[in-house]
Structure 1
Amino acid sequence: MPTISKKGVNMPQSPIRKLVPYAEEAKKKGIEVIHLNIGQPDIKTPKQALDAVKNNSLEVLAYSRTEGSDAYREKLSNYYKSQEIFVSLHDILVTTGGSEALSFAMGSIADSGDELIIPEPFYANYNGFATAMGLKVVPVMSKIENNFSLPPISEFEKLITNKTKAILICNPGNPTGYLYTHEEIQKLASLVKKYDLFLVADEVYREFTYEGHKHHSILREVGMEDHAIVIDSVSKRYSMCGARIGCLVSKNKAVISTALKFAQARLSPPTYAQIASEAALDTPQEYFDDVIKEYVSRRDLLLDEITKIPGVLVGKPQGAFYCIAELPIEDADHFAQWLLEHFHIDGKTVMVAPAGGFYATEGAGKNQIRIAYVLDKENLKSAVKILKEGLKKYQEC
C-alpha cells in the first residue's frame, strides 16, 4: 500500500475542530450543543459589506490580480493610516484569509529545518503551518499566573540559534486574550534587530481592546522596516469569517516580492469577497464601539460566573474574545469529549476547545480549555452552568 508523507502524519489535529464528530452525534440525539470552541462571532456582518455583493452587477466573475485589487489595497492603506500605520498599497498582499498570509510569510522567510520562536499558548494553526513548511516551532512558555504576559526577553534570547528566523506573536492573543504593552513590543523589536530576525505579528484582533488599552502594532516601531511582517484579516474585525480575505503587510520589499510568488501559484484571492471587504472598510466607528461594549459585557459575565467554580483559574483577556481556563482535572481532552457524549442539562451540553493543542511543549495545557465568548450572555451563562455541574459529575466518575 502507498504510504502517507511524514509531513501528513505529523500534521496536528485542530483542537478547535477535532471534537466535531462527537458534537454531531450529540445533536443527532436531540441535544443542543453550545459552542464555546470556535471563534465564530454571532455579531452581524456590516450591512454595507453584504450590500456590495448583493448589488454588484458583475457579468463575468473573473480572476482578480494576484496581489489583490488596487482599489482594495489603496483603501486598506488608508485604513492603516487611520491606525497610525503608514504603508502603501505596494506593501500589502491580499490573501485568502489570514491563514494564507501566515503560510506565505513562513514560506518566504524560512527553509525546511529553520526555527520560529513563539510564546505559548498560541493559535493552534501556527503548529499546522509550521509543520506543512517543515519548520520547527520553539516555544517560550507564558503562564496563566502572570495572565500570559510576555515571558522575559532572556528566555527568548537563550533559544536563538543559527536556525532561528523569526519570532511570531499574536496581539491581542488567541487563545489568551492578552494584549502586549508598548514596552513588551519595544523589547521584541530590539531583540529581532539585535539578531537580524523577523518579527511576525498576527494582528487580526487589533480593534478589540478593552478598558482604554491601546493596541501597539509592530509596524509603528522605528527601524523595523526590514524586520516587521503583519498578518491581518477581515474575518473577526467585521464578522466575515466566510469571506476568507486577509493580507500580509510589510515594508520589506523582498518579503512582499517573495510572498507574491507564492500567491501567483494560487492565482488570486476571491473577487466577490474582496468587493465585500473593500465595502466593509467604510464601517463606522460606532459599529466597533458597540461590538467592543458587547464583548466586554460578555467577558465580564463569563469571568464572574466561571471564577465561582471551585478550583478554576482563568486569565483575564484585555483584547480579542478568548480566554484560557485551568480546570481541576487532569485531561481536558477527555473531559471535553465526555461532556459531548455523556453529559447534558435539560437537553443542553457544551463544546470547548482543549488547550493542549495550543501549546508546543509536550504535556502543557492538559488541564486547560480555551473559551470563545462569541455567544450571547444567556448562552454563556447556560454554558458555565453546564461546565460547573459537568465538572462535579466528572470528578465523581
Structure 2
Amino acid sequence: MSVRFSDRINAMQESPIRKLVPIANAAKAKGKKVYHLNIGQPDIITPPSFLKSIREFDQEVIAYATSPGDPKLIEAIAAYYKTYDMHFEPDEILVTNGGSEALMFAMMALCDPGDEVMVPEPFYANYNAFTRAINVKIVPITTKAEEGFHLPSEAEIEKNITEKTRAIVLSNPGNPTGVIYTRDEMDMLSRIVRKHDMTIIADEVYREFVYDGLKYTSFGNLPEISDRVVIVDSVSKRYSACGARIGSLACKNKDFSKQVIKLCQGRLCVPTLEQVGATALYGTPASYLNEVNTEYQERRNTLYKALKEMPGVICEEPKGAFYVVIKMPVDDAEKFAIWMLENFDVDGETTMVAPAAGFYATPGLGKNEARLAYVLKNEDLAKAMDILKAGLEAYPGRIESPIPSA
C-alpha cells in the first residue's frame, strides 16, 4: 500500500550538511582518510564537570523535570547572561531540547501558517527545515561573499516586508558565514522591527567565538527593543556539548514566555540528567572559554591564510563562529564535494565540505560555494587545505573563476 505524504514533508530538503555522509562512509570503507570540514562538531574536550555532576546525581527515580526547565539550570543561565549585562528573571527563560527546539518554538509562537520570516542568506540550513515544518515562508535577505556577508541597505531590506512578515531570524555570530554584525547593522534592524511591528529572533549560540579583539554586542543589549528580542541559546558549541541537547529561550516580553510555555508543556520536559550536566557547565571558569577562543582564532588564521593563497577562491576573513563560506572555481560545489570523496585523494587522504546551496532560500544561489568548519586541529587543517587546493586544481569541472553573486 502506498502512503500519501504531506506537502509539508515533501517540501523539506535533506540536510546539506549530512546528506553526503553515506558517500564519505563509503570512502572510508575503501581506506581513505576523510578530513571533515562539513560539520560544526568541535573536537574540544567537554568540561569534565558535565559528566561529574551526572555521576553524582543521587535520586532513586529519574523523574520528569518541570516543563519550563530545572530551576537550578534557569538560575545558572540567568547568572551567565548577567556577565553580558543582560538581566532576565526566572520566568523569562525557558529550557529547550537544544537550540533547534528553541528556534522552532519561537517561530511557532510568533507565526501562523503562511506567515513570513526574513533571514539573511546564506543561513543555518535547518532554518529551512524548521520553517517548512510549520508552514512558514523564509523571505531571504541576500548577502554576498565579496562583501563579507554583511547586510544590504535598510531600503533593500524593507522593500520585501509584507503584512505577513512577523520576524527577522538571524545568527550572530553567523553560521555559516562567520560574520559579526556591526552596531550600525544592529541599530538598523532595531529601527526596522519597531517600524513594522516585528520581532528579532537572535540565534546567539556562537557568542563566545569572536576574534581579533572585536567587541560583541547581543541583541539583548539594545534596550529600545528589549520586548521585541527573543534570544536563542545552547550549550552545544560554547561548551563542546553538542550531544547534550540543551538550549534555551530568553525574552523580556513575559507574554511571549507565557505563550511558549504551552509548547514546553506539550513536550513535557527536557531530559533531567542533561539539565543536571548543563547546570554544571554554566559554572565553567571563563578561562576555559578564553582558551577555546584562542584555539579557534589560530585555526581561523590557518584556514584563511591557506584559502587566500588558492587561485580562484573568494572569501573574506570570518570574524566569529568557526565557519567560512567560500566561492570556488567549480561548476557545482555538490558535484565537487562528491568527486573529492569518490575520485580524489592525496596519499590516501581527502576532504569533505558542505555544499552551500542548501544554506540559501533563493534558487540558484550558492551553487559554487561551500561552507568549511574549522573544527580540526591546526596540523590537520593545514593538511586538509593542501588537499583542497590540489583537488580544486585537478577537478574536471573547474571553471576560470567563481560565478559572481546575483
TM bracket (short chain): over 0.9
TM-score (norm: length of structure 1): 0.98
Aligned to 2:232: 231
8 A Cα contact 1:193 1:224, kept in partner:
yes
1:83 is the counterpart of 2:80: no
Per-residue deviation, 1:225 = 2.8
1:104 is the counterpart of 2:105: yes
1:66 is the counterpart of 2:67: yes
Aligned to 1:296: 297
**Partner Cα separation in structure 2 for residue 27 and residue 255 of structure 1:** 47
Per-residue CA distance 1:247-305 (angstroms, 9 max, x = gap): 01111122111111111111100111111111011111111111111111100011111
**Partner Cα separation in structure 2 for residue 2 and residue 11 of structure 1:** 17
Aligned to 2:211: 210
**Partner Cα separation in structure 1 for residue 326 and residue 298 of structure 2:** 18
**Partner Cα separation in structure 2 for residue 315 and residue 200 of structure 1:** 26
Range with greater deviation from structure 2 (339-348 or 166-175) = 339-348
**Partner Cα separation in structure 2 for residue 11 and residue 99 of structure 1:** 16
**Partner Cα separation in structure 1 for residue 140 and residue 297 of structure 2:** 30
1:194 is the counterpart of 2:208: no
Give the ranges of 4+ consecutive aligned residues of structure 1 lying more than 6 Å apart after TM superposition. none
Q: Tell me, what secondary structure is at the counterpart of 1:268?
A: coil
Per-residue deviation, 1:306 = 1.6
Per-residue deviation, 1:214 = 1.6
**Partner Cα separation in structure 2 for residue 363 and residue 305 of structure 1:** 27
Q: Tell me, what secondary structure is at the counterpart of 2:370?
A: strand
**Partner Cα separation in structure 2 for residue 316 and residue 66 of structure 1:** 42
Q: Tell me, what secondary structure is at the counterpart of 2:109?
A: helix
Aligned to 2:151: 150
Q: Tell me, what secondary structure is at the counterpart of 2:269?
A: coil
Range with greater deviation from structure 2 (208-217 or 350-359) = 208-217
**Partner Cα separation in structure 2 for residue 311 and residue 54 of structure 1:** 52
**Partner Cα separation in structure 2 for residue 281 and residue 365 of structure 1:** 37
Per-residue deviation, 1:18 = 0.6
Question: How many residue pairs get matched?
Answer: 397
In structure 2, what residue type is equivalent to 1:107? M
Aligned to 2:135: 134
Aligned to 1:54: 55
Aligned to 1:180: 181
CA RMSD across the alignment: 1.1
Per-residue deviation, 1:55 = 2.3
1:39 is the counterpart of 2:40: yes
**Partner Cα separation in structure 1 for residue 397 and residue 286 of structure 2:** 50
Per-residue deviation, 1:388 = 0.9
**Partner Cα separation in structure 2 for residue 347 and residue 133 of structure 1:** 44
Structure 1: stretches of 5+ with no match in the other structure: none
**Partner Cα separation in structure 2 for residue 349 and residue 340 of structure 1:** 7
In structure 1, what residue type is equivalent to 2:254? K
TM-score (norm: length of structure 2): 0.96
Q: Tell me, what secondary structure is at the counterpart of 1:341?
A: helix
8 A Cα contact 1:76 1:89, kept in partner:
no
Per-residue CA distance 1:317-342 (angstroms, 9 max, x = gap): 11110001110012001100111111
Aligned to 2:402: none
Aligned to 2:245: 244
8 A Cα contact 2:76 2:283, kept in partner:
no
Q: Tell me, what secondary structure is at the counterpart of 1:290?
A: helix
8 A Cα contact 2:330 2:397, kept in partner:
no
Per-residue deviation, 1:97 = 0.2
Q: Tell me, what secondary structure is at the counterpart of 2:155?
A: helix
Q: 1:396 to 1:241 in 2, by over 3 A?
A: closer
Aligned to 1:283: 284
Aligned to 2:164: 163
Aligned to 1:92: 93
8 A Cα contact 1:176 1:315, kept in partner:
no
Per-residue deviation, 1:161 = 0.5
Aligned to 1:356: 357
Aligned to 2:325: 324
1:347 is the counterpart of 2:348: yes
Per-residue deviation, 1:396 = 6.7
8 A Cα contact 1:180 1:215, kept in partner:
no
